[in-house]
């Protein structure tokens, strides 16, 4: 799979999941600190999804990052999300 195909697959899976949640692009974008334009570009496969965005989607909307990446068939996380402790990289 090319990078472009992967971006399109991730975008399509995100769009389908967002529509299942019955929320607008604008609402989802605000919830994960993106603009509506950025989210639209992600859904169209024109914008790379960062690990930060995947993390925010999981925390805010319980969207399974492994589903978006094509490694799982379940779009929603069902268990509790374990938050990482604050780590000081200078120590």
Long-range pairs of 55-58 with CB within 8 A, sequence gap ≥ 24: 56/31, 56/32, 57/14, 57/32
Token readout for 89 is 């990289």
pLDDT at res. 81: 54
Q: How many CB atoms within 10 Å of residue 39?
A: 25
Domains defined for the chain, CATH in brackets: 3-68 (1.10.260.40)
Taking only the tens place, the pLDDT of each residue in 75-87 is: 777 665 555 556 5
Q: What is the pLDDT of residues 16-27, one digit of tens each?
A: 999 999 999 999
CA dihedral 17, 20, 23, 24 (to 10 degrees): 70
Q: What is the pLDDT of residues 45-79, one digit of tens each?
A: 999 999 999 999 988 998 889 989 888 888 777 66
Other Cβ atoms within 10 Å of 56 Cβ, number? 17
What pLDDT is stored for residue 77 in this prediction?
Answer: 72
pLDDT surpasses 60 at 91? no
């Amino acid at each position: 799979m090319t990078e472009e195909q992967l971006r399109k697959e991730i975008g399509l899976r995100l769009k389908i999941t967002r529509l299942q949640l019955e929320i607008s692009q604008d609402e989802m974008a605000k919830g994960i600190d993106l603009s509506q334009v950025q989210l639209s570009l992600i859904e169209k496969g024109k914008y790379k999804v960062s690990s930060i965005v995947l993390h925010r989607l999981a925390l805010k909307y319980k969207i399974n990052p492994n589903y978006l990446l094509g490694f799982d068939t379940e779009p929603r996380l069902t268990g509790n999300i374990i938050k990482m402790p604050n780590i000081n990289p200078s120590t």
